[in-house]
Amino acid sequence: MSATATPNSTPPTGPTRSSMSGRAWALLLVLCGTIFLEGIDVAMLAVAVPSIRSDLELSTGTAAWVMSAYVLGYAGFTLLGGRAADLLGRRRMFLVWLAVFLVFSSLGGFATEGWMLIVARFVTGVAAAFMTPAAMSIITTSYEEGPQRNKALLVFAGTAAGGFSLGLVIGGLLTQLGWRWVFFAPVLLAGGILLAAVRLIPAEPRPVRTGGFDLGGAAAAAGAMLLLAYGIVRLEHGMNGWPLTLAAVTAGLLMAAVFVAVERRTASPLVRLGILRKAAMVRADLGALLFVGSFFGFQFVVTLYLQELRGWSSLQTAIALVVLGVDAVLAPTLTPRLVNRFGNARVIFGGFVLAIASYGLFLPVGMDWSYAAMFPTLILTGTAFALAYGPLTIAATDGVEEREQGLAGGLLATATQFGSAVGISAVTAVYGLAAAGGDGSPQSTLEAFRAALTVPVVMVVLGALITSFGLRTRPRTQENRQDTPQSPARTPAEAAH
């Protein structure tokens, strides 16, 4: 049924309608508000870290952990968060963890020591790990699979990119008032979203579980994700402390093996391993990991180039990069038309090809490049994000049964978080190695930036190769979908009645 249908109407036999009722749009805006909140939260803090470090007299390591703690919390618990939405209730998980996000963001604003900020950011990341998959699974179970759900997911994805891009500018402005506003501003937004969510997110029946909760699997999953995320974050240290980095990654892989063994033996697994046999979903998750990783790695290198080599202020840099947010405009307008005409696989592949071209254009960056010389890469990068990320989100949840939509969303969110960590850590490591081999002159620093810029290029080339296998797969039509046995989606209109 479409979101404009009544409870007693029958599924349409013709083409799926993409129109949505006012209540359906209101629900979507609330859910998009959370991903926007997450985007501006991360972006604003990235701009404010230098001021926080100076005001609280933090060491370089402590300042780095203020950023890394969020990634650890998010990446470590996203898989568990996605499954918890399926098993414990999507509405319940969304509201509870949005409230936790609100509380600990406010606590971060009152922090007077580095460890307080680190704890606040870690718990905020954990809250996002439960909140975001719940929001995505509410979308995928509330809007009919096809054009309507595609539109909802593309708006959701575009809002994420828009939040990050606008967050850079907003963070620069708020930091001028005082870095604590970077924590307090999201609290105000989260409070408004929470009030609207209580009213608009429909009640749902209590999920039926035939067995007990898989505590062993949950512990093993969280342990594996935390250790692997920690090892990835440590890659930015290069050869310094490599034994600890290697030990963390090895322990994470061993814990992942334990998790698989537990899931194979338990009667009620946290994660049904059979879901990993869905080739399209796995391709989408790997593609999202590589694409998001390349995007954040590129943005990180460009930020360093503009501020450290060119001497631009944080606000100037933020305004220069805001054009990346063109995705927020293109994702809900242009991308749905391209998906309807060419299918997800071709649009995703086109996004990767465009990203290869955009990053490649920036490889010969010079010491005195004008903004006009940088603009083509920035606008193409934002356009590539609009083409790839939203359709990857659709592909990662398409054809998954309703009872596992939270798990599918958790797998996608896990991939994107690991991607961002890999992208930033890899470019930092390459830049550090290249800079260490130079003479410290501006020209050698520029060469180090150029070396780091090869990382995003390699990541999108790999992503294009992986997603190209989907070009041979015939897109599922609406008739195909109706032949697939799965639980019908509960629309906002149905739930309201």
pLDDT digits (tens, 9 = 90+) for 13-56: 333 455 678 888 899 999 999 989 988 888 888 778 878 888 89
- Is the model's pLDDT at 194 over the cut of 60? yes
C-alpha span between 200 and 37 (Å, rounded):
18
CA angle 186, 189, 194 (to 5 degrees): 120
Q: How far is CA 69 from the centre of its chain?
A: 16
- 447-490 pLDDT, tens digit per residue, is 999 999 999 999 999 999 999 998 876 655 443 444 344 444 44
Which of 123, 99, 102, 124 shows the shortest CA–CA distance to 42?
124
Mean pLDDT of the region 323-329: 84
Instruction: Specify whether the CB–CB gap between 34 and 105 falls below 8 A.
Output: no
With b meaning 16 or more CB within 10 Å and e meaning fewer, what string describes 192-230?
ebbeebeebbbeeeeeeeeeeebebbbbbbbbbbbbbbb
Give the rounded percent of residues in the chain with a pLDDT score beyond 70.
88
Of the candidate ranges 16-20, 107-111, 170-174, 249-253, the one whose mean pLDDT is the lowest: 16-20
- 387-407 pLDDT, tens digit per residue, is 999 899 989 988 888 888 888
Residue 120 makes CB contacts below 8 A (sequence gap 6+) with 104, 105, 107, 108, 111, 183
- For the chain, the maximum distance between any two Cα atoms, rounded to a whole number of angstroms, is 74
Burial (CB count within 10 angstroms: exposed 0-12, middle 13-18, buried 19+), residue 400: buried
Of the candidate ranges 7-11, 240-244, 319-323, the one whose mean pLDDT is the lowest: 7-11
- Is the model's pLDDT at 161 over the cut of 60? yes
Which pLDDT score, from 0 to 100, does residue 418 have?
85
C-alpha span between 63 and 57 (Å, rounded):
9
- Is the model's pLDDT at 322 over the cut of 70? yes
- Is the model's pLDDT at 413 over the cut of 80? yes
- Is the model's pLDDT at 378 over the cut of 80? yes
Which of 193, 16, 31, 186 shows the shortest CA–CA distance to 107?
186
Mean pLDDT of the region 187-193: 93
- Is the model's pLDDT at 414 over the cut of 70? yes
**Average pLDDT value for the chain:** 83
Which pLDDT score, from 0 to 100, does residue 369 have?
94
C-alpha span between 458 and 451 (Å, rounded):
11
Mean pLDDT of the region 7-13: 34
C-alpha span between 166 and 144 (Å, rounded):
30
